Structure 1
């Protein structure tokens, strides 16, 4: 895979990760880490973390090639 498609894909994944945090309400699940009363990191938020990690891997592989 060439560098530019990897970087574009990484950017799209980061945008999706940010959007997911705001639209995941119906599927949030239990709070794993409580930040304050009624707010915290839920199981559905972990999808955003995974998307950002994959995007980071794509950026690193793009710069190495």
Structure 2
């Protein structure tokens, strides 16, 4: 996979992570970290974390090739 393709894929993964956050209400699961009365990190939010980490890994591997 070329450098440009990795960057595009990383951007798509970050966009998907951001899009997932407001859409995951039906499958949120238990609260893992309460930030305030109306905000918390739930198990469904972890998908966004994984997507961003994969995107960062792609960008890191692009820089070190």
- In terms of fraction of residues, the more strand-rich structure is 1
Q: Is the TM value for this pair above 0.5? A: yes
User: TM-score scaled to structure 1, two decimals?
Assistant: 0.95
The corresponding residue for 1:15 is: 15
Q: Count residues with an aligned counterpart.
A: 65
SS in 1 for 2:29: coil
TM-score (norm 2): 0.95
Q: Which runs of 4+ in 1 moved over 4 A?
A: none
SS in 1 for 2:35: strand
Q: CA RMSD in A?
A: 0.8
Structure 1: gaps spanning 5 or more residues: none
